[in-house]
Amino acid sequence: MSNEVLNAIRERRSVRSFSTRHVEDSLLDQILEAGTWAASAMNRQPAKIVCVTREEDRRQLSRMNAAVMGSDKDPYYGAPCIIIVLVDSASATGREDGSLVLGNMMLAAHSLGLGSCWINREREMFATDEGKALLKKWGIEDDLTGVGALALGYPAVPQAEGKPRKSDYIVKVE
Ligand SMILES: Cc1cc2nc3c(=O)[nH]c(=O)nc-3n(C[C@H](O)[C@H](O)[C@H](O)COP(=O)(O)O)c2cc1C
Closest ligand 1 atom number to CA of residue 77: 11
Give the pLDDT confidence of 13-59 residue by residue, as tens digits.
Answer: 999 999 999 999 999 999 999 999 999 999 999 999 999 999 999 99
Burial category of 97 from C-beta neighbours within 10 Å (exposed 0-12, middle 13-18, buried 19 and up): buried
- Where do the domains of the chain lie, and which CATH numbers do they carry? 4-153 (3.40.109.10)
Task: For residue 50, report the distance from its CA to the centre of ligand 1, in Å.
Answer: 19
What pLDDT shows up at residue 159? Answer: 85
Q: State residue 87's pLDDT score.
A: 98
Q: Which atom of ligand 1 is nearest to the CA of 159?
A: 26
List the residue whose alpha carbon is closest to atom 3 of ligand 1: 120
Residue 81 pLDDT greater than 70, yes or no? yes
Average pLDDT, rounded, for the chain: 97
Output the CA 120–ligand 1 centroid distance in Å.
Answer: 8
Tens of pLDDT, residues 105-140: 999 999 999 999 999 999 999 999 999 999 999 999
Q: Report the DSSP beta bridge partners of residue 118.
A: 150
Alpha-carbon dihedral angle through residues 31, 107, 34, 95, given to the nearest 10 degrees: -110
pLDDT over 70 (residue 1):
no
